[in-house]
Structures are given as structure tokens and as C-alpha cells.
Structure 1
Amino acid sequence: KSWTAPAISLSSSIKSFNLKELKQERIHILTSAALLQVTNPMCIVFLLSLFPQFIDPKGSYVQQVSLIIAMFVITCWFVHIAYSYSAAAAADRWMTKNFSLWLNKISGFLFWLISVSILVKMF
């Protein structure tokens, strides 16, 4: 279906907000994203498996954990800022019908590659 899907322009599907709705929407997105990450078991397991190997048992536990958490949060923040600015900079090109057509063709081709690799591994 991806291969034959019609190209669409995403710029026509963007809705406009007034300032009050935009502020409420941002707050809602931020709080729901924060709640999702705090309750995400994969993130908790990852951090619990990653952090202990960088903690010196002879040093101050609170100071070391605080430093590791601060470094992790700052790194994640910079990565997400870079993602969002990259997406905003490329949005004009990504919302065209031409990009949608190429994206459909590439994703359709990748789905075919996945299915061929499954067939090859079965035999």
C-alpha cells in the first residue's frame, strides 16, 4: 500500500491556532510527555541498568547520581532541541507532495526488503 499510496501535501493539513489555544496545547503536550516518560518502564529499566556502572561505591552517592542525572537530562535536552530545529528547518521541504511521493516509494521498497529477508531466513 505504501508503494501505491497517493502523494499528499501536509501543509494543507496544518490547523491554525489562536494564541490561547496554542499555549494550552503546548502545556498539555508537555505535561502528557513528561508523565509518559516518568512512567515509561523501558526508560526506568534503562537508567537503572546504565547508571550503576558509573557510580564509585567509595564516593558520595547523592553527588554522583545527581551529576549523572544532570548530564543525562542536559544531553537529552540538547538532542531534542536539535531534532526540533532540524524538523522546523526542513518542514517546508517535507510537507510537499514530491517528498510524500518519495517517502511512500522508499517505505514501500523497505517493506518489500523486510518481507524478502523474512522469506530468505525461513528457508
Structure 2
Amino acid sequence: MTVALGRVMLFTKDTARMRTFYRDLLEVDPIEDSPDWVVFATGGLQLALHALPAHIAAHITVSEPATARSDVAIKYSFLVDDVAATRARLAALGAQMRDSFTSAARTSCDGVDPEGNVFQIASRA
């Protein structure tokens, strides 16, 4: 039996804002797109944005700029050709980008999306 990871789902308070952010990060248009469900194809793995139910979203506050949620059990990493250029592009788009670092021959940089989710961009090799 073969098991493969096909989709990562991120629950969102403001799906329209998150759609714009991830469209700009990934530089692709969604393959599915509705007010409460957005899917991006990202080279073998899909990123899905799913609107939180209103009764849950009502109890979530997102600061401006968003406070990094570092107490969660997941951080997703996007592989890019040029970490420095991607970091600069995302910062110009308003993303909160941290300093780049190198570990095990891979350059990486963490960022914070508009709802405080911490993500990473990393070199392919």
C-alpha cells in the first residue's frame, strides 16, 4: 500500500485575504475558488484554504500586523529557487519575513501570513 500526502488544508478567518496572500506567494491562480474554499496546485501538493465556520471565526482575533502563532504543531515549507529574491518579493508585498539562515546546506527563511501562521521558504537543495 502506498500513501502519499496530497493536500495541506489551512483553516482561515478571512479567506479572501488569505487567497490573495497565497496567490501572490505561490504566483499561481487557484484551481478551485469560492468564498469559503480555495485550492492551489503547488507542484504535486495542493494547498487548500477553508473558511472557519462563523461561530468559530467570531472568537478569533487577528491583529494588524498579525502576531506569529508559534504555539501550533505545524509549519509548512515552500521550496523556492532563490530564497533571497523570494524573501524580498514577499516583504515588498507586506509579508512579515524573518532573517534567512542556513542549515544542512539549505537556506531558509520564516515568514508570517496575514492570520499569523508561520510558514517557511527554503532552497531546493
Greater per-residue strand proportion: 2
Bigger RCO (CA 8 Å, 6+ sep):
1
> Whose Rg is larger?
1
Q: TM-score, normalised by structure 1?
A: 0.22
Greater per-residue helix proportion: 1
Q: TM-score, normalised by structure 2?
A: 0.22
